[in-house]
Structure 1
Amino acid sequence: MSDIPDYTRNVSLRLSKVLDEIGVNERMVIKRRRLQLMNETLHTITTQLSQGDANVYHLGSRVEGTTTLGLNSDIDFLFTLPGYKVIEDWNEWEPDRGNLLMIQDDTVSPGYCLLQILRNDAPLSEDNVYDQYSYRDRIGRVLLKNSINNPAAGDGRVRHGPAKSRKARLGFVSQDIVLAITCQQWPLQARRWIYQHGEGQWPTYDMKQYCKDTGCFVVGVGSKGSVNEELEWRISTSLAERYLMFNLNITQIRCYVLMKMILKTFITTQCPDSISSYMCKTVMFHCISSTNNNTWNEKTLLICLNYCLIVLYNCVLNDNCPHFIIPENNLMARRFTPVTKQVIVDRLRYIINSNGSALLEIECDQLGNRIKYTFLRFVEIALEIERSCVISGQVVKYTANVVNKCCMAILIKMNRINNTRLLFQTLRKYLILMKVTHNMNQGQTKEACRTMAKFLSLHLGSTLASINIQREGVVCRESTDLVSLGLNIDVAYGKLKLASIFYCTGDFERTELILKNIEEKYDLNVVEPTCHCYAFENSGGKRAFNKLCYEADYEYILLQSITASCVRFLRGEINCCPQEFQHEMFRSSQQDLPYRSEDDEWMDMAFVDSLPYLYFLQYKTYSNLRRHQDKQTAIFNIAKCIVKEPNFGHKETALNLLGQCMEQENKLYAALECYLLSLKIRDKNNAAKLHICRQLSSMLGPSLH
């Protein structure tokens, strides 16, 4: 490599350094991957509670660790449809399964297949066309249409290739959700790749064997322009490709990130939906397989980038980008109009001929400015660490929100159960299933099961306590033992549930001890509130929070000590929360219901952020203990945290609780002001309306009489 020109070597080193500064380094890549794979496991085990053999996979840039703050990549999910099995041979047929025979013949586009529906009681072809998703072709086969993957109307998503796409909203990044059917075996078209060898001997034979063992999927989209477009299913080797990405070195990852930045800066703005990041990844795979692995190092980054761009240029020029594993599948077939093609070719030629200077025009992550200007070394180090801290904090907060989302999915299902005894039995069944899964697995699955078991124990114990309180006014030992198993799910959630139970039984001394412990553990300069109930604007994490996330070698454990999710009560737990909070379970009047979306089912439960609920319980406890000064401090703290904490998800609820405290202090106009402020935050589906009507009736009642 001694013949590399000094200019190329210097630019490559500078590029490598800048990408390191913005978080494209081995430490941050590993952090992203580790937590995203944990999130994948959480999603899977939660989905399997209700859908049996369904699986969830996280794919794309976030789990690969190939994104940056500026790229802000989508979150890609793949959900497998339970109950279906794709087979290639009749001998693989199984009874009582949705057996689908993969058909690949001359009528099907390369990289695609047809799915013939088979009977589930015998290894025979299905003769009946049951619904709009099945179709009888000219030779009598009943085929499954790919339109089974169409997004439901009104769910905020649109069809984008095989994915249901939802654009970014406040507090949420954009999402692509793909429904897929699992194939245990690779089809013949893919198996040929195992025995092909590139010049660079990458991937190795062992890597290819591992890829084959991951299986594949079929996803519901046909080849564009095909006569069978509504019937074809694309063969997806996404798990194998993810594994290949996990085996790239840091220079190869940086090269891919640069390609995506170039795509975003020079091509997507002029030609949207033309070249995809998946095409860039495929091109890079081809380039790596055709070169020696030693070629890819930080001194040659510019050379490697130009090589990938030249290959991409030739692909566009020839309208042909072969799929890496199934090369007969041309990813660029019928992709570009002549005008679009010419624009892309011109832009790529300009970038290649610039010999790196075009990179100065990239605004994403201030890449161009970072390359251009040389800062003092100590400033560089400070900026690099600060940015890495922010990224680490974001990833940990996202993981906390995944936990919240998984818990929410279970709670919504449980809240539909009107019978409290049946609710208790269902929660107990889920807890047993989670413990069995925990005992049968290792690593991330075991850790994810432990988290969900804590959550289920918490609500199982709280439900039992609610039954006890309604019947006897006291709680049994079993209920408090169950709740105690979930005390450290985060810094406050479990303990607040336990404190709330003791408060509702009149045990104010024990309630005070628990609340005091929470307040000591809840470091206001560090702990981040987390909420995934709805879309709202979320500011960056606290500096101390981000720093701890960056310094931790195992970030998942941090969820217990530096995050605080909103506190949730099912209607079946109604006797475990104070009367003032119970109103939140009935926030929606008949007039409000039409303004709710399918994402608003959480409104039938009681939700509040941990910190204001802590102070509210303190107020109620100190009121019963007749400690006037302490209860005044608690009121002040409720008001202060509402004003100062930007990341609360339920400020309207906190204001409703504060208003009721004001009423109990006989400060009626201050209470009314709290309710009106609450309505400004959420003007529909808000218990503040009930409080205002009740208070006005109370205030005006004497004068009316």
Structure 2
Amino acid sequence: MFQAPDYTCTVSERLSEVLADIGVDERIVLKRRRAYMQIESIHNSALQLKDKKRTLYYLGSQSEGTTTLRLNSDTDVLTCKNNFNIVQDRSGWQPGVHNLLMIQDDTVSPGYCLLQRLRDDAPLPYNDVSNEHYFRDRTGRILLSNTLIPAALAAADFKGVHNGPAYTEPGQPGVSESDIVVAFPCKTWPLQARQWLDQQGVSRWLSDDMKRYCSNTGCFVVGVGSKSSENDELEWRISTSLAERCLMFNLNITQIRCYVLMKMILKTYIKPLYEGTITSFICKTVLFKVIANTHSNFWREKNLLVCLLCCLFVLYNSVLYENCPHFIIPGNNLIGRHITQQSKPHILEILQYIINSEGTALLAIKCEDLGAGLQLKLNYLLSFNTRCFVSGYILKTTAQMVDSSIDFCLDCISNSSHEEAIQKLLEYIFKLVTISNRGQGLEKTACRLLGPWFCTTLGSTLASLNIQQYSGISVEALTWISLGLNTDVSSSKLKLASMFYCIGDSNRTELVLRDIEGSYDQNIVEPVCCHYIKKAFRKGFHVISDNHNEEALQYATAFCVKFLPCEINCVPTELQYEMFRSTEEDLAFRGRFDNWMDWAVVDSLPYLYFLQYKTYSYLGRQDDKERTLSNLTRTIEQEPELGHKETALNLLGQCMEQEDRPTDALRCYLLSLNLRRRNNAAKFHICRLLSTIVNHQAGTML
């Protein structure tokens, strides 16, 4: 089947080099895994702070490190509802949660189960049909229908698209879509997978430690039935996702590269013609099967092409015989009913062509320019290295998760009084200390990343209360805000400068702003906004990201500056308008995650220049005032990554009013309104400015 060894070795080595250049090497794979496990920990820490009874798991290609930038892999998130308890026998019944008995018998499709409701006060069958999501079968059992999941998501105003057990949430600009799966936890290993724990393939790849870990993770059930079942609304799929993640984390780099190549082949040759027939999970299952049945020395860099062709040959047979057994639950056929009789011969023809080409078919793969890169390598030329860009993407994704987690936690105090907000922030901080003390590794890091943000907000809230009471700032407020000054390059320090500005301390304001400007290297520092997401593009940021992990957030990112209503006395008058951006009519046009519109939110760099302009104006430093106004104007015109450009334009417009340039001010407000037609304070500024102009003209005429 294969050409001479020298040929396959040469192609394999060049192919490995190309994949390494685009970020499929040991270091970047580990970097991806660490980042997404850290993101998972940050997200779950935020959920604990708000006492949410659910746990999130980041699964699939992103967290496994088995993707590239242009594969555009979805982010797979499994949301585990901890207020449910799935048991395989009644001894696992627990008080205080919804207990459901997993039924796995001959009436249920392999890999699936039924869920029988148990009583809340005892491990006995429940006898009443309590709502439309429960069904009494012919034997009298009360079974839970998987229609519960879409109904619950609809009630929560979730706008995703239903696709099997997953609900796809559209991605924002520059970020991949998220596939969200809602699951219920079962603490015990599924009966249908018990035999797998005793199997041992040729490779002896599955160590006792791996099997022990897998069995201890238990499993999940997700709300989708088998396509071949007559009662698909009553069936729930058994998921061994955490065990599968364990297997993926134990692959070597050649095995990972083989999997990435299979996905690139799917993207190039299969998906454009036969979407939904062969999935990446089927490719993963084929890979597991081949690994289990080959010796470990087979999976070497110089053998990559042979490994790939071997996997494709097994995939070909799976399609031919319409049978691809789930690796852990082999009774579950993953291909059944996915491939039609019309498409089957064409898919087989494509796979046969790729196998017989012995590598030349890879030259047609445009994803990541793999084909062109391989041709260059074979011609002994250098290909472009994109690993730094991958590192930048990973670090920015971590930053966005920190940002969105902070928003998620602060949302509940959005309209709180000073006293209520202070109490809640202290509660968050003490909870994080508790989580950190009992956690380890990534949990401690998550708490270390989140904690300073709450300290900053607490300090600013205390300062707002102080200013309201006696026009000063207490030592306590300064102490708390000082604990959060190093969250990033600028946002927390800008809050401190804002506090000083609002009490009229121009000298200390100018000192803090000068320090921020000195640290803000625009060739490196990347703006971060969870409301507006684009891929990082600064080369300096990519280089920093490639050499560091999440600690680089302190000196390579600039988060937006966010003020809650309880911080209003630390906000300049010009920015306070943003807290009142919405008319009664505008409220109807807000989305599910638009509560931040009740806050004052501004990008760091334009806010830095705005505060400098106001401060230098007060100090009478004309040259510095003109320089910072020019910087503010240039930033708005040239910075492509502003998340709140409309707010920056509103601030610039008010600066133009101060400069007695009403026409330029009106132009700024109109540009702002063009960017965001609804929920924009520019409407108020336009009305106010026009009123001023009219009154001034009337006064002149008199």
TM-score normalised by length of structure 2: 0.96
Matches for 1:473-622 after TM superposition, within 5 Å:
473-534=471-532, 538=534, 540-552=536-548, 555-622=549-616
- Cα distance between partner residues in 1 of 2:141 and 2:420: 45
2:7 maps to: 7
Residue deviations 1:27-76 (CA, integer Å, cap 9, x gap): 11111111111111111111222244421111111111111122121111
* SS of residue matched to 2:230: coil
* SS of residue matched to 2:225: coil
1:283 maps to: 286
2:388 maps to: 389
In the TM superposition, residue 376 of structure 1 has moved relative to its aligned partner by 8.1
Residue deviations 1:318-343 (CA, integer Å, cap 9, x gap): 11111111111111122221112222
- Cα distance between partner residues in 1 of 2:215 and 2:95: 26
- Cα distance between partner residues in 1 of 2:448 and 2:376: 48
- Cα distance between partner residues in 2 of 1:625 and 1:168: 46
| The 10-residue stretch of structure 1 (445-454 or 2-11) with the greater mean CA deviation from structure 2 | 2-11
Relative to structure 1, is the Cα distance of residues 539 and 103 closer, same or farther in structure 2, using a 3 angstrom cutoff? closer
Give, as a single letter, the amino acid of the residue that structure 1 aligns with 2:636. I
2:452 maps to: 454
Give, as a single letter, the amino acid of the residue that structure 1 aligns with 2:510. E
* SS of residue matched to 1:568: strand
| The 10-residue stretch of structure 1 (280-289 or 406-415) with the greater mean CA deviation from structure 2 | 406-415
Among 231, 235, 238, which residue is 1:232 paired with?
235
- Cα distance between partner residues in 1 of 2:447 and 2:664: 46
Give, as a single letter, the amino acid of the residue that structure 1 aligns with 2:331. E
Whether 1:148 and 2:142 are equivalent positions in the alignment is no
Give, as a single letter, the amino acid of the residue that structure 1 aligns with 2:154. A
1:322 maps to: 325
- Cα distance between partner residues in 2 of 1:228 and 1:427: 49
In the TM superposition, residue 82 of structure 1 has moved relative to its aligned partner by 2.7
In the TM superposition, residue 243 of structure 1 has moved relative to its aligned partner by 1.1
Among 303, 316, 336, which residue is 1:300 paired with?
303
* SS of residue matched to 2:38: helix
In the TM superposition, residue 155 of structure 1 has moved relative to its aligned partner by 3.6
- Cα distance between partner residues in 2 of 1:657 and 1:33: 41
- Cα distance between partner residues in 1 of 2:468 and 2:261: 62
2:194 maps to: 191
In the TM superposition, residue 704 of structure 1 has moved relative to its aligned partner by 4.5
1:114 maps to: 114
2:56 maps to: 56
Whether 1:340 and 2:338 are equivalent positions in the alignment is no
**Does the 8 Å CA contact 2:135/2:144 hold for their aligned counterparts?**
yes
1:414 maps to: 413
Flag structure 1 segments of 5+ consecutive residues without an equivalent. Answer: none
In the TM superposition, residue 377 of structure 1 has moved relative to its aligned partner by 6.5
- Cα distance between partner residues in 2 of 1:4 and 1:36: 41
Relative to structure 1, is the Cα distance of residues 94 and 168 closer, same or farther in structure 2, using a 3 angstrom cutoff? closer
**Does the 8 Å CA contact 2:491/2:558 hold for their aligned counterparts?**
yes
Give, as a single letter, the amino acid of the residue that structure 2 aligns with 1:500. S
**Does the 8 Å CA contact 2:62/2:75 hold for their aligned counterparts?**
yes
| The 10-residue stretch of structure 1 (255-264 or 14-23) with the greater mean CA deviation from structure 2 | 14-23
Give, as a single letter, the amino acid of the residue that structure 2 aligns with 1:320. N
Give, as a single letter, the amino acid of the residue that structure 1 aligns with 2:694. L
In the TM superposition, residue 214 of structure 1 has moved relative to its aligned partner by 2.0
- Cα distance between partner residues in 2 of 1:482 and 1:372: 58
Among 219, 222, 225, which residue is 1:222 paired with?
225
**Does the 8 Å CA contact 2:393/2:535 hold for their aligned counterparts?**
no
- Cα distance between partner residues in 1 of 2:73 and 2:298: 28
Relative to structure 1, is the Cα distance of residues 26 and 473 closer, same or farther in structure 2, using a 3 angstrom cutoff? same
1:135 maps to: 135
**Does the 8 Å CA contact 2:316/2:352 hold for their aligned counterparts?**
yes
- Cα distance between partner residues in 2 of 1:396 and 1:74: 17
**Does the 8 Å CA contact 1:51/1:82 hold for their aligned counterparts?**
no
In the TM superposition, residue 473 of structure 1 has moved relative to its aligned partner by 1.4
Whether 1:247 and 2:243 are equivalent positions in the alignment is no
Relative to structure 1, is the Cα distance of residues 539 and 244 closer, same or farther in structure 2, using a 3 angstrom cutoff? closer
- Cα distance between partner residues in 2 of 1:410 and 1:49: 7
Relative to structure 1, is the Cα distance of residues 3 and 272 closer, same or farther in structure 2, using a 3 angstrom cutoff? closer
1:22 maps to: 22
Q: Aligned residues, how many? A: 695
| The 10-residue stretch of structure 1 (247-256 or 197-206) with the greater mean CA deviation from structure 2 | 197-206
Give, as a single letter, the amino acid of the residue that structure 2 aligns with 1:563. T
2:467 maps to: 469
In the TM superposition, residue 418 of structure 1 has moved relative to its aligned partner by 3.5
Matches for 1:39-54 after TM superposition, within 5 Å:
39-54=39-54
**Does the 8 Å CA contact 1:265/1:362 hold for their aligned counterparts?**
yes
1:630 maps to: 624
- Cα distance between partner residues in 2 of 1:129 and 1:459: 48
RMSD: 1.7
Whether 1:662 and 2:659 are equivalent positions in the alignment is no
Matches for 1:98-109 after TM superposition, within 5 Å:
98-109=98-109
- Cα distance between partner residues in 1 of 2:3 and 2:592: 62
In the TM superposition, residue 627 of structure 1 has moved relative to its aligned partner by 2.2
Flag structure 2 segments of 5+ consecutive residues without an equivalent. Answer: none
Residue deviations 1:584-610 (CA, integer Å, cap 9, x gap): 011111232232221322211111000
| The 10-residue stretch of structure 1 (2-11 or 106-115) with the greater mean CA deviation from structure 2 | 2-11
1:682 maps to: 676
1:404 maps to: 403
- Cα distance between partner residues in 2 of 1:117 and 1:186: 20
2:644 maps to: 650
In the TM superposition, residue 260 of structure 1 has moved relative to its aligned partner by 0.2
**Does the 8 Å CA contact 1:539/1:647 hold for their aligned counterparts?**
no
2:176 maps to: 173
* SS of residue matched to 2:154: coil
Give, as a single letter, the amino acid of the residue that structure 1 aligns with 2:82. P
TM-score normalised by length of structure 1: 0.96
Matches for 1:263-282 after TM superposition, within 5 Å:
263-282=266-285
Q: Percent identity?
A: 52
**Does the 8 Å CA contact 1:539/1:646 hold for their aligned counterparts?**
no
* SS of residue matched to 1:15: helix
* SS of residue matched to 1:674: helix
Residue deviations 1:247-268 (CA, integer Å, cap 9, x gap): 1111000000000001111111
Give, as a single letter, the amino acid of the residue that structure 2 aligns with 1:297. R
In the TM superposition, residue 374 of structure 1 has moved relative to its aligned partner by 3.7
Residue deviations 1:174-194 (CA, integer Å, cap 9, x gap): 110111111111111122211
In the TM superposition, residue 289 of structure 1 has moved relative to its aligned partner by 0.1
Residue deviations 1:54-113 (CA, integer Å, cap 9, x gap): 211111111111111221211111111131111112112111111111111111111111
**Does the 8 Å CA contact 1:149/1:162 hold for their aligned counterparts?**
no
Give, as a single letter, the amino acid of the residue that structure 1 aligns with 2:393. Q
- Cα distance between partner residues in 1 of 2:100 and 2:696: 74
* SS of residue matched to 1:291: coil
1:355 maps to: 358
In the TM superposition, residue 378 of structure 1 has moved relative to its aligned partner by 7.9
